[in-house]
Amino acid sequence: MRKYLLIGVSAFVLGAGSMAYVSQQALASAQAPKAKTYKMLELFGDVVDTVERQYVTEVDDQKLIEAAIDGMLTSLDPHSGYLNPDSFDDMRDQTRGEYGGLGIEVTSEEGVVKVISPMDDTPAARAGIKAGDFITAVNGESVLGLSVNEAVKQMRGKPGEAVTLTIAREKTDPFDVKVVREVIKPKSATAKMEGDYGYLRVSAFNEKTTEEARAALADLRAKNPKMKGLVLDLRNNPGGLLDQAVGISDMFLEGGEIVSQRGRDPRDIERYNARPGDDASGLPMVVLVNSGSASAAEIVAGALQDRKRAEVVGLTTFGKGSVQTVIPLRGGMDGALKLTTARYYTPSGRSIQKTGIEPDLEVAETRDQAQRIANRAFQFSEASFRNALNAEEGKARRGAHVPAEAPPEGFDEQKGDFQLARAKDVLKYGSVAATPKLPKPEPKMAAVIPPKTALPAATLEKPAPEKK
């Protein structure tokens, strides 16, 4: 049976049509491309045979074919691919919200493993690994040139065992970090008070997210009945299951559309709507996002922004606007295909593929980050992928620019959270429009911090539960 995800995520089944009549001419024209396809398959067989006989060392036929299948799929777009049986099992474990590892989201392109984000309260987060770091070696063995699945396999192991990662980080020399593996049971939703305002942190979208978020918010409101507003923090949330993104959005919407997804056929449209009931009872809301907010996180931010339920503060999101279907092969015994089958759209009908969700108030987290955004060195987005699906015609992700706000010189970036502080200001004054604006930062000349050719990043693909 098929499994579904949206990058990090969704479920979408393409309908199959039938044709009542095909003319001889149409049949002939249809057979011509097939003949070419069969010829290319014959060529593929010849290549495999030649490699088996003449490569300098013996080759593993299974690995050779798996790599060929994966290469075919990844040539389509960055998020399609082949999952061998082990990888398919790992994906299902991650979706359940419990698995063994370091607690780190990674991607790979052109042989470089890049950190999307460390998960909250995991070994990777406690070790100080940061979004944007590059992992160049595991236990002294280089991972350059490996696929992301191969690199992840080297990082995983028995809980309690240590693994040493070699990290390359901008403006620093490569260094080693020792991390002890654990059984990862990330709590995807937590809540606390920030002064007069509630703070709900959603770090991922697994099978438990909506349940955990509802419980955390209900407990917080019960203990703080005079709460004046709510901050929903989706920063560095790499995505997850579509039904959980719909569930989190539904917590705060009284009805109407949350998201729609559309396939190759214009008639293939599936819409998801909210049900009556607002867990926050209409309290004013702000959603915090950044470039690490992807996929399912973007669905929530886009839905609440479009429906005027919340204003968005932070930085433009990742821009992951496509849907992947996980299709098991022989019930998963031969692994699964992860295939892009649709795009998703916010309630207003906008696709955010490549462009992302732009905040109502743009706020850089640090002064250094503002500098990098102005110098085009900050390219942590879907648009960085060379073969990413195109954005809507006429739309493009915003290029280098000076962000609207950044921490002033007197702000302690080590102890304070400037984006959160500005989110609370928006709640205090009632809207972004009414919030007093700070002076625009003045980045240095681009020559001071040279632009760096950025490597793309993607959200971690996770399996969705079977569609009922």
Q: Catalytic amino acids? A: 295, 306, 320
What per-residue string of b and e applies to 65-92 under the rule 16 or more CB within 10 Å gives b? Answer: ebeebbeebbeebbbbbbbbeebbbbbb
Q: Which residue spans within 216-284 are E strands per DSSP?
A: 230-233, 256-262, 269-274
Determine how β-strand 230-233 pairs with β-strand 197-202.
Answer: parallel
Give whole-number Cα distances, 100 to 96, 123, 271, in Å. Answer: 12, 11, 35
Helix (H) or strand (E) holding 213: helix 209-223
CA distance 242 to 238: 12
Residue 443, beta-bridge partner list: none
CA distance 330 to 321: 29
Place of tokens 């649709």: 342
Hey, is 292 helix, strand or coil? Answer: coil
Please state the three-class secondary structure of 394-451 as a single string.
Answer: CCCCCCCCCCCECCCCCCCCCCCCHHHHHHHHHHHHCCCCCCCCCCCCCCCCCCCCCC
Determine how β-strand 189-194 pairs with β-strand 182-184.
Answer: unpaired
Place of tokens 């690490």: 292
Give whole-number Cα distances, 355 to 272, 307, 374, 380, in Å. Answer: 22, 19, 17, 12
CA distance 255 to 275: 5
